[in-house]
A and B are shown apart, each in its own frame.
Chain A
Amino acid sequence: MLYKLIVLLPVIGALIGGLLGRWIGHRGAEIITSSLLVLSAILSCVAFYQVAIAGQGPEEAITFFRWFDVGAFEADWALRIDTLTVVMMVVVTGVSSLVHIYSIGYMSHDPHRARFFSYLSLFTFAMLALVTADNLLQMFFGWEGVGLASYLLIGFWYKKPSANAAAIKAFLVNRVGDFGFAIGIMAIFFVFDAVDFDTIFAKAPELAGTNFLFLGQSVDVLTTICLLLFVGAMGKSAQIFLHTWLPDAMEGPTPVSALIHAATMVTAGVFLVCRMSYLFEYAPDALYVVTLVGAVTAFFAASVALVQNDIKRVIAYSTCSQLGYMFFAAGLGAYDAAMFHLFTHAFFKALLFLCAGSVIHGMSDEQDMRNMGGLFKYLPWTGMLMIIGTLSITGVGIPHTLIGFSGFVSKDAIIEGAYAVGTPIGGFAFWIGLIAAAMTAFYSWRLIFMTFFGRPRAPIDIMSHVHESPATMMIPLLVLAFGAIFAGIALQSLFIGSASEGFWGDALLVLGSTGHEVVEAAEQGAHDLPNWVVLGPFVVMLLGLTWAAYWYLKRPDIPERIAANRGLLYLFLLNKWYFDEIYDFLFVRPAKRLGRFLWKRGDGWLIDGFGPDGVAALVLGTTRRAIKLQTGYIYHYAFAMLIGVAAAATYLYVKAVGAL
C-alpha cells in the first residue's frame, strides 16, 4: 500500500491539476500537486528506511493487475521494490517535491500554472513507473512517459518558437535512443521469452557467451542486447552522439531543467544500466563500450562547458559530463559508485539549477553570463547556496578522509576506483576523469565568478531591479544545499562503504574483481592506492579553481581577448564540437529534403493528385456533365428514352444473331 501510494499520488495530482485546473484555480492546483508530492516524498523516505536500511522490503513484486497476456508475452503492472528502486524513489520524489515548491514562486507570473504543475506531477509519475518497473514493458512505458512529459515541459512556453524546436529536437533525438531500447526489449523477449526481470536475470548466466549469426558475422547475444539497451540509455542520458538535445532543452522553465534535465530523467539511463547489471555483467564487451562512451562524454561535455556563456547551458553540459562519470563507473562494474554519484549529483545539480533559476528570476530572465557579474551583494543567499553547490560539484574535501562535500565523496570514489581497476580501459577512464575534474572546477568557478563577482555588466535599469527570490524558492534551495553538503558523508558507508553489501542486497550484480570491490576496499583504506592518485582529483580541482580565479577575477581581459580572437580551439568548443552542424548536414537536411520530396511529390502530387483531389475533381466534372443532360426539354427526354430502347434492342439483337 505504501509503495502503491508513492507511485499513485503524483498521478492523482496530475489528473486533478490537469483536468480540474480550471475549477480549482492555479492556487488550488499548486497546493494539491505539491502537497501530494511532498506526501509521496515522505513516504519514499519511509520506504527507503524500510527496504534499504531495515531490510524489510517486500519479497515479491507488488502487482496491480495483469497488463498483457498474449501467448508467452506476459506483463504485469507491478512494482519491483528493492534498494535500487527506493534510492531512485527518494531522489525522484524528493527533488520533485522541492521543485514543485520552488515552482510556486518561480512560475508565479505564468498564466498557465495549473497545466505546468500537472505536467510536473505527470512526469514524476512516469519516472516512478520507470524506476519501480517489474518488467521491461512497464519500464518502457515509464521511459516514454518521461519522454512525453519532458517534451511537454520543454515546450511549455509553446508560443516561443525556440522552445517548440527544442521540444521537438528532444523528442526526436530520444526517439533514436528509444528505438534502440525498443529493439533491445524485443530482442530480450525473443531470446528469453519473457520481459519480466526475475525470469531474465535468472536465465542470463545460461545464455552468456551464446552467439547468433548476423550478416555472416557471429555476434554475442547478450552483448548485442546490452548494447541496444545502452543506446536507449545514451539517448535518455544525453551521452555523446545523442546529447544534442539536452542543452537545447534548457529552453524549458528552469525548475524543469532542474528536475528532469539534471536530477531525474537524464539519470534514467544510468539506472537502466544498473538495473540490468545482471545482463551487463555477462557482456563484458558491452561494459567496455559503456565505459568508453561515459568517459568520452565526461571529457567532451566538460570541454564544451568551458566556453559557454548561457548560465543554464554551462550547467547542462556539466550534467552531461557528470552523467559520463556515472556511466564509466557503471561500465567498470562500480554500479554502486555510479548510483551514489547519481544520488549526490541530484542534490548539487538541482541546487545549481535552481540557484541559476533564482539568478535568472532576479535578473528579469537574463541568461547570458556576459551580462551578469557583481551580483553577490544583490543576491547573497543565492550566491552562498550556489557556491555550496559549486564546492560540491568540484569535489572539495579532505583527501585521504571521507570528510568533504557530497561531490567529493562520490566523484573521488569513481576516479580512484577507475584507477584501481587496473585495466587499460580503467586507466583511460581514470585519466579522462581527472582531466574532466579539472575542467569541471574551471567552468564551475568561471560561472560563479562571472555571475556573482567582478564588475556588474548588466544595464543599470536591470541591476536596479535585481532582487532576492521569495521564501518558496529559497526553502527548497536550503534543503538541497543541506543534501549537497552532507549526503556524501552521511550515506557513504551505505552506498559504497562497509555497509554496502547489506544495503544493496540483490539489487545489483557484480562479477569478479571489478571496480565495486576495489572502490569499497579503497574507501576502507585497505587497498594501497598511490598517494598521487588519491590527491590527484583534489589537486586538479585546485588547479581549475585557481586558473578560473586568475582569469575571471584578476585578469578578465585574457578570456575576453581569447573570445575576441576566435581561435580555432575556442570556436571548436564554443560550437560544441560542431555536433549540431554535422548532424544538420548528415541527417536533418537530407531528412528534410526527403520529407519535402515525399510531401510535395509523393503526397501532394501522387496521392492527392490521383487520390482525393483527383477523384474529387473527377466527380465534380462528371456531375457537371450529368447535370447538363437534364435540359428541361421534353423532346430531349423522349430522345434519351428512344435511344435507350434502340441501344438495348440493338445490343440484344447483335448478341442473339451472334449466338445463332
Chain B
Amino acid sequence: MLKELFHATGQLVRFILRRDRVRIPIWIVAIVLTTLTVAVALPGLYPTEQERQILAETMRNPAITSMLGPAYGIDNYTIGAMMAHEMLLFSALTVGIMSILLVTRHTRQDEESGRDEMIRSLPVGRLAHITAALLVVSLVNVILGALVGFSLYGLGIESMDLHGSLLYGAVLAVSGIFFAALTALAAQLAETSRGTLGLAFGALIVAYLVRAVGDVSSEPLALLSPLGLVLRTQVYVNNTWWPVVVTLIAGFVVGAFALYLNSSRDLGAGLIPARPGRKFASKFLLSPVGLVLRLQRTAIISWAIGMFVLAASYGSVFGDIESFFSNSELMQLLLPMTEGHALTEQFLTVVMAVLSMLSAIPAVLTVLRLKAEENANRIEPLLARAVSRPSLAGSYLVTAVMAAVVMQLLTALGFWSLTATVMDEPFSFSLILRAALVYIPAIWVMVGVAALLIGCKPRHASFAWFYLGYSFFVIYFGGLLRIPEWLKILTPFGNVPQLPVEEIHWLSLVVLTLAAAILMAFGLRGYRQRDVYG
C-alpha cells in the first residue's frame, strides 16, 4: 500500500524537469552569479584589514543586526565573514522565494486547473505528484547549494575555505528545502494557488521578522525562525553545522505532514474551507474599477496588514538603536554621517526605502493581475461587453496607484506606533509620514513599468519583478557594497530625497510622478493597440 502511494514518482520527476527545463536553470544561474559577483567584488571594496575593521565596528549596531543578522567574527573581520554576514540571509530568502514559486506551480496550481485530476486517473500513486514536486525542488536546492559552495571556494579568496564554502551552500540548500516543504503544507491548507502563495510568502515574511526582532533582542526567539537558525552557522568563522541539520529535519517533518494531509483530503479541496458568498453583486462591484478592487481585495488588505506589522517590527528595534548610538563613537559606513542629524534618523531613511520597495509589491501585483486574468481567458468576456480597453486597464492602474498610497500610510502608522513607545526621543508622526509618503512617486514608477510591459511586451511582464529586485539589491546593499551612484539612479527608489536627512526635493518628485504618468500612458496605448489573447 505504501509503495502504491508513490507509484510512478520517478516518471513525474522527469516530467516536472521537462516542464521547467528553462525556469530552473535561470533561477540557479541567477543566484549563483549574484553570489559570485558580490564575493569577487568584496576584496576590492575593503582591501585592507583596517578598512575591514572599521566596517566591523559598524556591524555591531542593532540596526545592521536587524537587517543582516547578528555580526560574528568581528575581532578578525575577514572577507569570508563579511560575505556570509552580508549575503547569506538574503541569498537564503531568495532561495526560499524560488522554492515557494516552484512548489506552488507543481502542487496547488496543477490541482486547481484540473490537470492533476488527469494525472491521478493514471496508474500514479496518490502522493506521487506532490512527492515528485518536493524531490525536484529539493534536488534543485542541493545542486544550487553545491554550485554556490564549490564556486565560492573556487574563487580562491583566502578566508573562504572549502569547509566554510560548502556550509554556505548547505545553508542555502536547507533553507530552500525547508520552504519547499512549508509550501507543500500551504498547498494542502489553501484551496487556490494564490492562497498557497499568500500563506507561503506570509510564512517567509514572518520568519524574516521573527529573526529580525529576535536577533536584536532575544536569542531564543531568533532560533524559532528558520532564517534566524541558519545564520547561527557562523559560516567562515566557526562553521557550525547543527543548524543545517536541524533545519533539514524540520523540513522533513513539515514535508511529511504535508504528505499526510495530502493523502487524507479530497482532490480539489483545501483544509481551510471556502465559504458561500453573496447571492447578488453589490452595486460597488458593477464597474471595472469595482471588479478590480473586489479581485484584489484580499491581497491588498493582507498586504496592508503585513506592511503595518513589518513597519512596526522595524520600529521595535529603534529603542536599541537609539541607546547603541548614544553609546558608540566609531561610525559610519552604511549610514554616511550627515551633520546635524541623529543616527536614528539616518537609519529611518534606510528602513523607509526598504519598506517602500516592499509596498511596491502589492501595487505591481495589482497591475500584473491584468495579465494573469488575460492568461486565464477572463479578459475576453469583459472586453466583449461595452468596456473599452483603456477603461479596463486603467481600472487596474487606478487601483495600483491607490494601493501604493494605502501601503505607505500603513507603513508610516505601523512604524510610528512602535517607535513612539520604544524610543526616548521618538520621531514626530508628521516626520515619519513625510518620510514614507515621499516614496509614493517611486512606487508609481514601478507601477508604470509594469503597465508598459503589459501594454507593449506582455510576454515579459514578469520583468517588472527583476527591476524591483534590482532596485532592492542596489538600495539595500548600496552602502555596504559601495555600489556606484549611477547604478542607483537607474532605479526610481534611488532618486527619492531621503527625508529627514536630506531636504525635500520637489523637482525629483515631480519628475518621478511625470515619468510614472508617461509610462502608464504608453502602457495604456500599447494595450489598446495589441492583440488580447484571452
Please determine whether chains A and B interact with each other in the same assembly. Answer: no
Residues of chain B at the chain A interface (Cβ within 8 Å) = none
